[in-house]
Amino acid sequence: MKLKLAALLAGAALAASPSGMARPVAPAAATAPALPSRMQVMASMERVADWQLTHLDDLSYMPAARPSTKRARDWQQATFWVALTHLADRSGSVRYKDAIFSKGREEGWKLGDRLYHADDHIIGAAWIWAARKGAGAAALAPMRASFDQILAAPKANDLKFIAPEPGAGDPGCTTRWCWCDALFMAPPTLWALSKDTRDGRYASFADKEYRATTDYLFDKGAHLYFRDSRFFDQRGAHGEKLFWSRGNGWVFSGLARMIPEIPAKDPRRPYYIKLFKEMAAKLVTLQRGNGYWPPSLLADPDRSQDESSGTGFYVHGMAWGIKAGLLDRKTYLPAVTRGWAALEHAVQPSGMLGWVQQVSDRPDVVKAEDAQFYGTGAYLLAGAAVYDLTR
């Protein structure tokens, strides 16, 4: 049963800053919790990561798991492996680095099997990290070969999303980035590969395709992305546009992962910083009082469910933006601490992160016991960025 969408969020507004410039403000809520200690954040991250590492094959906790869910190079699990690199960079334990290296060798350092599909490119970011940490050029060679095939024969199809009949395979447009999730999956990998190989072709391709997708799916008035073209004319129960939380979370968190890979003096970098700031200014106004972002961003917050994957991606992006000096600490830190507290509330005693909307392309029903690899990934990305703020 699809989640019933409700009215536009009330109360989201712009407040005047001392300089007279408009500054985004979050909806009225209780006093934001204090920033947790570094030890608290690390302990929480390790507990959640350790639970997930012991549940790579036993998916009994995930009744809706697909056959692809067990594949490390599939986007569902790959999001976790990429996020685990962020924990490995900060933890005093080598077990996370060892797990990533072991998985990379097991997978032959390959991308997913679908050459053009962005979902099969995200795992490359974990392999690039491994190459930087000692695995060397061998960890880059298979993905370079795959991306070189794409660059030799780039697709030029329309970005209109036409869902295929059940069992008919992927939509034809997915040979390009015709859905907003793709902006998390492929571009950060390409930019990082371009940096490490000093081959500008990968960055040029990523920049061209990213802008094409943004020109097509980004609503300049709402400062949010439609998930794909099917949602241009869809509306919620009270006429609001349908902007999916996790879909926009993919984009926002993807920018936080990608911008650091773009050289500081690259003339293309300001485009992405501007986009990141525009999204942040909108998103901070849409957080619910309990710290979560609703599955449908413009739905009535009082009638919305808790959802941890989109929330994790937003906490990651905002915390990173504060640390990077791109977002105002006074404006965004309360949203970060409220969001992190909400995520902590979603962690069950076992270490499993709940309230994760299952695989979908739109807002849907969420339950406390719902978990997924990418939810754990969003949590670890958020935790790493919050950890950095405590330094």
So which residues are the catalytic ones? 181
Can you tell me which residue has the tokens 């060679």?
141
Q: Which are the contacts of 308, defined by CB distance < 8 A and separation ≥ 6?
A: 292, 342, 343, 346, 353, 354, 355, 356, 375, 378, 379
Taken in order 285, 289, 292, 295, is the CA torsion positive or negative? negative
Which pair of structure tokens corresponds to residue 100? 């990533």
Q: What sign has the CA pseudo-torsion 193, 199, 200, 202?
A: negative
SS (H, E, C) the chain: CCCCCCCCCCCCEEEECCCCCEEEECCCCCCCCCCCCHHHHHHHHHHHHHHHHCCCCCCCCCCCCCHHHHCCCCHHHHHHHHHHHHHHCCCCCCHHHHHHHHHHHHCCCCCCCCCCCHHHCCHHHHHHHHHHHHHHHHHCHHHHHHHHHHHHCCCCCCCCCCCCCCCCCCCHHHHCCCCCCHHHHCHHHHHHHHHHHCCHHHHHHHHHHHHHHHHHHEECCCCEECCCHHHCCCECCCCCECCEHHHHHHHHHHHHHHHHHCCCCCCCHHHHHHHHHHHHHHHCCCCCCCCCCCCECCCCHHHCCCCHHHHHHHHHHHHHHHHCCCCCHHHHHHHHHHHHHHHHHHECCCCCECCCCCCCCCCCCCCCCCCCHHHHHHHHHHHHHHHHHCC
